Amino acid sequence: MPPIDVRGRSLMYDDTGDGEVVLCIHGFPFNRSMWDEARMALASRYRVLSPDLRGFGESSGSDSWTLDDQANDLIELLDRLGIDRAAVLGLSMGGYIALNLARRYPERLWAMVLIDTKATSDNYEAKQNRLKTAETALREGAAPIAAQMLPKLLSSANAEDQRLLERLNSMMLTTNPKTIANAAHAMASRPDSTQYLSTMAMPSFVIVGNDDQITTPHDAHAMVNALPNASLVTIPDAGHMSVLEQPEIAYGAIRAFLEQAHNA
Ligand code: MLT
């Protein structure tokens, strides 16, 4: 796909398949290539849209932004493509943005899949860590951030999976340090979505790796209990990147959920 102009920036995206739209929102500090398996698993049935968020991957935008801005970009992307409604899949930071969309644009979502993410905002300590992340990225580049994050991303079962480690590392190392800093500030200032969960009536599906140390099974259970129309699946032998660690199990479950939500 050629890039599309969205709110003054150029967004790159993959657009694969036909049918109802599934919009995939990547995590931090990754890019749209983390959804390659989603495209393979879902595009025979759905139209899978997977953009590089503003500033990430091949999309432009180095000025500071909020999660509202990222959500607004996605709504503008749907508008530009003439799409009324989409199911959103968001992993971690992508989940924070999916929750932002569900709060501010519920009429645009026919379903929501929250993967390895949480509804709560950052506590004081987490906010301080974000500030350090931003300063380090601006001073030293992406490498120290990648080195810090990499050991926490995978389950112990996959901790030695060199192919996966290399893939994650290369996504992180190629992320613009300015974007890492912008994302750290944006995530630190995101509101707590917990109070809004009870208003999110669309069919929802929560996925968590049983060994996710960043957004834990406890966080996932809390969301499922508060969402009015949600179910949960825990993926075995998976950490924070459950859809990359166990793609067959995760996308099998997502396909079944989307089918049910679509026919509801
Ligand atoms: C992500 O994977 O998007 C990040 O771990 C989210 C975060 O740092 O809160």
Selection from 255, 198, 192, 204 nearest residue 231 by Cα: 204
Q: Output the pTM of the full model.
A: 0.98
Please give the pLDDT value at position 205. Answer: 98
Q: Using alpha carbons, select from 142, 190, 155 the residue that is nearest to residue 31.
A: 142
Radius of gyration of the chain (CA): 17
Write the pLDDT tens digit of every residue in 136-166. Answer: 999 999 999 999 999 999 999 999 999 999 9
> Which of 204, 255, 260 lies closest to 232, judged by CA?
204
Phi, psi dihedrals of residue 16, rounded to the nearest 5° = -130, 130
DSSP E strands: which ranges in the chain? Answer: 4-6, 9-11, 13-16, 21-25, 47-51, 86-91, 109-115, 204-209, 230-235
How far is the centre of ligand 1, averaged over its atoms, from the C-alpha of 263 (Å)? 32
Position in ligand 1 atom list of the atom nearest CA 26: 3
Which residue among 26, 34, 92 has the greatest number of ligand 1 atoms within 8 angstroms of its CB, and so is best to mutate?
92
Ligand 1 pocket list (CB less than 6 A):
27-28, 92-93, 187, 214
Looking at the DSSP assignment, which residues form a beta bridge with residue 207? 115, 233
Q: What is the pLDDT of residues 70-112, one digit of tens each?
A: 999 999 999 999 999 999 999 999 999 999 999 999 999 999 9
- 53 C-alpha to ligand 1 centroid (Å): 14
